[in-house]
Amino acid sequence: MDGQRVPEEITVIVPVHNRIAFLKRCIAAIVCATSGKYKCQLIVVDDCSSEVLGEALVGADAANSIDLQVLRLDVNRGQNVARNIGLSKARAQYVFLIDADIVVPKAYFETMLAALRNSGADFASGFCVQAFQGTKPHGCCRRCFHSFNDYSPASDAPGLSDTGTLLGGVCLFRAESFEQYGTFDETLRGHGDETAWMTNACRSGARGVFVRDATAQHLVHRDELSIRPLFRKMFRNGLNKGRSIAKAEGAVIRAKDLMYCARLVGHSVRSNCYLGIAHALHQVGFLIGLHNAEL
Protein backbone atom coordinates (compact mmCIF):
# COMPACT_ATOMS: atom_id res chain seq x y z
CA MET A 1 0.00 0.00 0.00
CA ASP A 2 1.23 3.52 -0.79
CA GLY A 3 -0.60 5.12 2.12
CA GLN A 4 -3.35 6.63 0.01
CA ARG A 5 -6.89 6.28 1.32
CA VAL A 6 -8.99 3.81 -0.67
CA PRO A 7 -12.18 5.64 -1.73
CA GLU A 8 -15.30 4.45 0.05
CA GLU A 9 -17.94 2.83 -2.12
CA ILE A 10 -21.47 4.20 -2.23
CA THR A 11 -24.45 3.19 -4.33
CA VAL A 12 -26.57 5.83 -6.05
CA ILE A 13 -29.88 4.75 -7.58
CA VAL A 14 -31.61 7.05 -10.07
CA PRO A 15 -35.05 5.95 -11.32
CA VAL A 16 -36.07 7.85 -14.45
CA HIS A 17 -39.01 8.10 -16.81
CA ASN A 18 -38.21 10.60 -19.58
CA ARG A 19 -37.02 14.07 -18.38
CA ILE A 20 -33.71 13.38 -20.12
CA ALA A 21 -32.56 17.03 -20.02
CA PHE A 22 -32.98 16.99 -16.23
CA LEU A 23 -31.31 13.57 -15.97
CA LYS A 24 -28.22 14.94 -17.73
CA ARG A 25 -27.83 17.62 -15.04
CA CYS A 26 -28.57 15.11 -12.28
CA ILE A 27 -25.86 12.73 -13.51
CA ALA A 28 -23.33 15.54 -14.01
CA ALA A 29 -23.88 16.65 -10.39
CA ILE A 30 -23.41 13.08 -9.11
CA VAL A 31 -20.15 12.73 -11.06
CA CYS A 32 -18.90 16.05 -9.65
CA ALA A 33 -19.88 15.14 -6.07
CA THR A 34 -18.17 11.72 -6.17
CA SER A 35 -15.06 12.52 -8.23
CA GLY A 36 -11.90 11.75 -6.26
CA LYS A 37 -13.88 11.06 -3.08
CA TYR A 38 -15.92 7.90 -3.58
CA LYS A 39 -16.11 4.81 -5.69
CA CYS A 40 -19.67 5.10 -6.91
CA GLN A 41 -21.92 2.33 -8.11
CA LEU A 42 -24.41 4.35 -10.16
CA ILE A 43 -27.58 2.44 -11.06
CA VAL A 44 -29.92 4.19 -13.50
CA VAL A 45 -33.29 2.41 -13.76
CA ASP A 46 -35.08 3.43 -16.96
CA ASP A 47 -38.80 3.01 -16.23
CA CYS A 48 -39.72 2.54 -19.93
CA SER A 49 -38.80 6.04 -21.11
CA SER A 50 -39.86 7.06 -24.62
CA GLU A 51 -36.66 9.12 -24.86
CA VAL A 52 -33.13 7.74 -25.34
CA LEU A 53 -30.93 8.10 -22.26
CA GLY A 54 -27.56 7.81 -23.99
CA GLU A 55 -26.51 11.47 -24.14
CA ALA A 56 -27.46 12.07 -20.50
CA LEU A 57 -25.15 9.27 -19.33
CA VAL A 58 -21.99 10.23 -21.23
CA GLY A 59 -20.34 11.97 -18.25
CA ALA A 60 -20.90 9.02 -15.92
CA ASP A 61 -19.77 6.49 -18.51
CA ALA A 62 -16.45 8.31 -18.90
CA ALA A 63 -15.76 8.87 -15.18
CA ASN A 64 -13.16 6.54 -13.66
CA SER A 65 -14.81 6.60 -10.23
CA ILE A 66 -18.25 5.62 -11.58
CA ASP A 67 -19.39 2.04 -12.14
CA LEU A 68 -22.44 2.75 -14.33
CA GLN A 69 -25.23 0.21 -14.66
CA VAL A 70 -28.34 0.95 -16.74
CA LEU A 71 -31.41 -1.23 -16.20
CA ARG A 72 -34.40 -0.83 -18.52
CA LEU A 73 -38.00 -1.87 -17.83
CA ASP A 74 -40.17 -2.81 -20.81
CA VAL A 75 -43.30 -1.45 -19.10
CA ASN A 76 -43.72 1.71 -17.03
CA ARG A 77 -44.20 0.34 -13.51
CA GLY A 78 -43.65 3.35 -11.25
CA GLN A 79 -40.81 4.65 -9.10
CA ASN A 80 -41.16 2.18 -6.25
CA VAL A 81 -40.68 -0.76 -8.62
CA ALA A 82 -37.69 1.01 -10.18
CA ARG A 83 -36.26 1.73 -6.74
CA ASN A 84 -36.63 -1.89 -5.64
CA ILE A 85 -34.96 -3.17 -8.81
CA GLY A 86 -32.07 -0.80 -8.18
CA LEU A 87 -31.84 -1.93 -4.56
CA SER A 88 -31.62 -5.57 -5.68
CA LYS A 89 -28.36 -4.68 -7.48
CA ALA A 90 -26.88 -2.39 -4.79
CA ARG A 91 -23.67 -3.57 -3.18
CA ALA A 92 -22.54 -0.67 -0.96
CA GLN A 93 -23.28 -0.15 2.72
CA TYR A 94 -24.86 3.24 2.04
CA VAL A 95 -27.48 3.81 -0.67
CA PHE A 96 -28.60 7.17 -2.06
CA LEU A 97 -31.94 7.35 -3.84
CA ILE A 98 -32.04 10.38 -6.12
CA ASP A 99 -34.81 11.25 -8.57
CA ALA A 100 -33.80 12.26 -12.10
CA ASP A 101 -34.93 15.87 -11.57
CA ILE A 102 -32.71 16.41 -8.51
CA VAL A 103 -29.32 18.17 -8.59
CA VAL A 104 -27.03 17.71 -5.58
CA PRO A 105 -24.18 20.11 -4.66
CA LYS A 106 -20.53 19.04 -4.57
CA ALA A 107 -20.36 18.36 -0.81
CA TYR A 108 -23.80 16.72 -0.53
CA PHE A 109 -22.68 13.11 -0.15
CA GLU A 110 -20.03 13.99 2.44
CA THR A 111 -22.51 15.99 4.53
CA MET A 112 -25.18 13.31 4.40
CA LEU A 113 -22.86 10.41 5.17
CA ALA A 114 -21.36 12.24 8.16
CA ALA A 115 -24.84 13.04 9.49
CA LEU A 116 -26.07 9.46 9.13
CA ARG A 117 -22.99 8.01 10.84
CA ASN A 118 -22.95 10.54 13.68
CA SER A 119 -26.67 10.20 14.38
CA GLY A 120 -26.86 6.43 14.10
CA ALA A 121 -30.07 6.85 12.10
CA ASP A 122 -31.32 4.47 9.41
CA PHE A 123 -32.09 7.10 6.76
CA ALA A 124 -31.59 10.82 6.21
CA SER A 125 -32.47 13.65 3.87
CA GLY A 126 -31.98 17.41 3.63
CA PHE A 127 -33.57 20.50 2.15
CA CYS A 128 -34.92 20.37 -1.38
CA VAL A 129 -35.56 23.74 -3.01
CA GLN A 130 -37.14 24.34 -6.37
CA ALA A 131 -35.15 25.55 -9.34
CA PHE A 132 -37.70 26.62 -11.94
CA GLN A 133 -36.59 26.44 -15.54
CA GLY A 134 -38.36 29.44 -17.07
CA THR A 135 -40.34 32.47 -15.94
CA LYS A 136 -43.16 32.57 -13.41
CA PRO A 137 -46.42 31.65 -15.19
CA HIS A 138 -49.39 34.00 -15.18
CA GLY A 139 -52.23 33.40 -12.74
CA CYS A 140 -50.30 32.45 -9.65
CA CYS A 141 -49.11 34.50 -6.72
CA ARG A 142 -45.40 34.79 -5.93
CA ARG A 143 -45.80 33.10 -2.55
CA CYS A 144 -47.32 29.93 -4.03
CA PHE A 145 -44.82 29.95 -6.88
CA HIS A 146 -41.85 29.98 -4.52
CA SER A 147 -43.35 27.46 -2.08
CA PHE A 148 -44.63 25.02 -4.67
CA ASN A 149 -41.96 22.33 -4.29
CA ASP A 150 -39.92 23.46 -1.29
CA TYR A 151 -39.60 20.97 1.55
CA SER A 152 -38.48 21.67 5.07
CA PRO A 153 -39.73 20.61 8.53
CA ALA A 154 -41.46 23.01 10.88
CA SER A 155 -38.46 23.75 13.09
CA ASP A 156 -35.64 26.04 12.01
CA ALA A 157 -33.07 24.67 14.45
CA PRO A 158 -29.63 23.94 12.98
CA GLY A 159 -28.09 20.49 12.67
CA LEU A 160 -30.26 17.37 12.78
CA SER A 161 -33.88 16.71 13.69
CA ASP A 162 -35.65 13.37 13.99
CA THR A 163 -38.54 12.75 11.63
CA GLY A 164 -40.41 9.80 10.20
CA THR A 165 -41.17 11.31 6.79
CA LEU A 166 -38.45 12.57 4.46
CA LEU A 167 -38.00 13.09 0.74
CA GLY A 168 -37.52 9.67 -0.83
CA GLY A 169 -36.56 11.50 -4.03
CA VAL A 170 -33.29 12.60 -2.45
CA CYS A 171 -32.52 10.39 0.53
CA LEU A 172 -29.68 8.34 2.03
CA PHE A 173 -30.30 4.90 3.53
CA ARG A 174 -28.27 2.26 5.28
CA ALA A 175 -28.54 -0.76 2.99
CA GLU A 176 -29.22 -3.02 5.96
CA SER A 177 -32.42 -1.04 6.66
CA PHE A 178 -34.09 -2.62 3.64
CA GLU A 179 -33.14 -6.06 4.86
CA GLN A 180 -34.63 -5.29 8.25
CA TYR A 181 -37.75 -3.32 7.27
CA GLY A 182 -38.44 -4.54 3.74
CA THR A 183 -38.44 -2.70 0.41
CA PHE A 184 -40.85 -0.13 -1.08
CA ASP A 185 -44.56 -0.87 -1.60
CA GLU A 186 -44.89 -1.46 -5.34
CA THR A 187 -48.66 -0.89 -5.31
CA LEU A 188 -48.11 2.82 -4.58
CA ARG A 189 -47.34 5.33 -7.33
CA GLY A 190 -46.85 9.09 -7.32
CA HIS A 191 -46.13 11.55 -4.50
CA GLY A 192 -45.96 9.80 -1.16
CA ASP A 193 -44.92 6.45 -2.65
CA GLU A 194 -41.96 6.39 -0.25
CA THR A 195 -43.93 7.66 2.76
CA ALA A 196 -45.40 4.26 3.69
CA TRP A 197 -41.94 2.66 3.90
CA MET A 198 -40.60 5.40 6.17
CA THR A 199 -43.67 5.39 8.40
CA ASN A 200 -43.72 1.60 8.74
CA ALA A 201 -39.98 1.46 9.35
CA CYS A 202 -40.19 4.06 12.12
CA ARG A 203 -43.10 2.21 13.71
CA SER A 204 -40.79 -0.82 13.81
CA GLY A 205 -37.97 1.09 15.48
CA ALA A 206 -36.11 2.82 12.61
CA ARG A 207 -34.94 6.45 12.81
CA GLY A 208 -34.92 9.10 10.13
CA VAL A 209 -33.10 12.42 10.45
CA PHE A 210 -33.42 15.70 8.60
CA VAL A 211 -30.02 17.23 7.78
CA ARG A 212 -30.26 21.00 7.68
CA ASP A 213 -26.79 21.49 6.27
CA ALA A 214 -27.62 19.60 3.05
CA THR A 215 -29.59 21.29 0.26
CA ALA A 216 -30.43 19.85 -3.14
CA GLN A 217 -32.27 21.44 -6.07
CA HIS A 218 -35.50 20.12 -7.55
CA LEU A 219 -35.67 21.06 -11.22
CA VAL A 220 -39.16 22.10 -12.28
CA HIS A 221 -40.00 23.17 -15.83
CA ARG A 222 -42.55 25.92 -16.41
CA ASP A 223 -44.59 23.51 -18.56
CA GLU A 224 -45.19 21.36 -15.49
CA LEU A 225 -47.27 24.21 -14.05
CA SER A 226 -49.85 24.24 -16.88
CA ILE A 227 -53.29 24.17 -15.30
CA ARG A 228 -55.05 20.97 -16.32
CA PRO A 229 -52.10 18.50 -15.99
CA LEU A 230 -51.05 20.20 -12.75
CA PHE A 231 -54.52 19.85 -11.20
CA ARG A 232 -54.66 16.15 -12.10
CA LYS A 233 -51.14 15.57 -10.80
CA MET A 234 -51.70 17.38 -7.50
CA PHE A 235 -54.99 15.58 -6.79
CA ARG A 236 -53.44 12.20 -7.63
CA ASN A 237 -50.35 12.91 -5.52
CA GLY A 238 -52.51 13.92 -2.55
CA LEU A 239 -54.61 10.78 -2.99
CA ASN A 240 -51.52 8.56 -2.97
CA LYS A 241 -50.11 10.32 0.08
CA GLY A 242 -53.39 9.82 1.96
CA ARG A 243 -53.50 6.15 1.00
CA SER A 244 -49.92 5.64 2.16
CA ILE A 245 -50.57 7.17 5.57
CA ALA A 246 -53.91 5.33 5.94
CA LYS A 247 -52.23 1.99 5.25
CA ALA A 248 -49.41 2.71 7.69
CA GLU A 249 -51.25 4.48 10.51
CA GLY A 250 -54.98 4.11 9.90
CA ALA A 251 -57.41 6.80 8.74
CA VAL A 252 -57.48 9.76 11.12
CA ILE A 253 -58.79 13.01 9.62
CA ARG A 254 -57.93 15.92 11.89
CA ALA A 255 -59.73 19.23 12.15
CA LYS A 256 -56.56 21.10 11.19
CA ASP A 257 -56.42 19.14 7.89
CA LEU A 258 -59.92 20.41 7.01
CA MET A 259 -59.05 23.94 8.09
CA TYR A 260 -55.91 23.91 5.98
CA CYS A 261 -57.93 22.88 2.94
CA ALA A 262 -60.42 25.69 3.60
CA ARG A 263 -57.60 28.25 3.90
CA LEU A 264 -56.13 27.13 0.57
CA VAL A 265 -59.49 27.54 -1.16
CA GLY A 266 -59.92 30.97 0.42
CA HIS A 267 -56.45 32.05 -0.70
CA SER A 268 -56.99 30.90 -4.28
CA VAL A 269 -60.28 32.85 -4.50
CA ARG A 270 -58.93 36.04 -2.91
CA SER A 271 -55.67 36.06 -4.89
CA ASN A 272 -56.97 34.55 -8.12
CA CYS A 273 -54.13 32.04 -7.77
CA TYR A 274 -54.41 28.76 -9.64
CA LEU A 275 -51.45 27.28 -7.74
CA GLY A 276 -53.51 27.84 -4.59
CA ILE A 277 -56.25 25.73 -6.19
CA ALA A 278 -53.65 23.08 -7.05
CA HIS A 279 -52.54 22.98 -3.40
CA ALA A 280 -56.20 22.72 -2.35
CA LEU A 281 -56.78 19.80 -4.75
CA HIS A 282 -53.73 18.09 -3.29
CA GLN A 283 -55.23 18.44 0.18
CA VAL A 284 -58.66 17.23 -1.01
CA GLY A 285 -57.03 14.18 -2.60
CA PHE A 286 -55.08 13.60 0.62
CA LEU A 287 -58.27 13.64 2.70
CA ILE A 288 -60.07 11.28 0.32
CA GLY A 289 -57.12 8.90 0.29
CA LEU A 290 -56.89 9.06 4.06
CA HIS A 291 -60.61 8.33 4.42
CA ASN A 292 -60.67 5.45 1.94
CA ALA A 293 -57.32 3.87 1.11
CA GLU A 294 -58.99 1.43 -1.28
CA LEU A 295 -60.41 4.03 -3.70
Q: Residue 295 has what DSSP assignment?
A: -
Rounded Cα–Cα distance for residues 287 and 53 (Å): 37
**What is the structure's pLDDT at 234?**
80
pLDDT higher than threshold 90 for residue 11: yes
Instruction: Give the residue with greater pLDDT, 246 vs 126.
Output: 126
> How many residues are present in the chain?
295
Question: 8: pLDDT confidence band, cut at 50, 70 and 90?
Answer: confident
Question: 159: pLDDT confidence band, cut at 50, 70 and 90?
Answer: low
Instruction: Give the residue with greater pLDDT, 137 vs 113.
Output: 113
**What is the structure's pLDDT at 106?**
93
pLDDT higher than threshold 80 for residue 206: yes
Q: Helix/strand/coil (H, E, C) string of 107-162?
A: CHHHHHHHHHHHHCCCEEEEEEEEEEECCCCCCCCHHHHHHCCCECCCCCCCCEEE
Question: 190: pLDDT confidence band, cut at 50, 70 and 90?
Answer: low
CA angle 107/113/117 to nearest 5° reads: 150
pLDDT higher than threshold 70 for residue 148: no
Summarize the confidence of residues 210-227 as an average pLDDT. Answer: 78
Least confident interval from 41-55, 196-210, 275-289: 275-289
**What is the structure's pLDDT at 6?**
46
Summarize the confidence of residues 202-219 as an average pLDDT. Answer: 88
pLDDT higher than threshold 50 for residue 152: no
pLDDT digits (tens, 9 = 90+) for 33-77: 998 889 999 999 999 999 888 888 987 877 778 999 999 999 999
Question: 22: pLDDT confidence band, cut at 50, 70 and 90?
Answer: very high
In this structure, which amino acid lies at residue 212? Answer: R
pLDDT higher than threshold 70 for residue 180: yes
Identify which of 132, 147, 130, 135 has the alpha carbon closest to the alpha carbon of residue 264: 147
CATH topology of domain 8-224: Spore Coat Polysaccharide Biosynthesis Protein SpsA; Chain A (3.90.550)
Q: Which residues pair with 165 in a beta bridge?
A: none
Summarize the confidence of residues 89-114 as an average pLDDT. Answer: 94
pTM summary value: 0.76
What are the boundaries of each domain within the chain? 8-224, 226-295
**What is the structure's pLDDT at 231?**
82
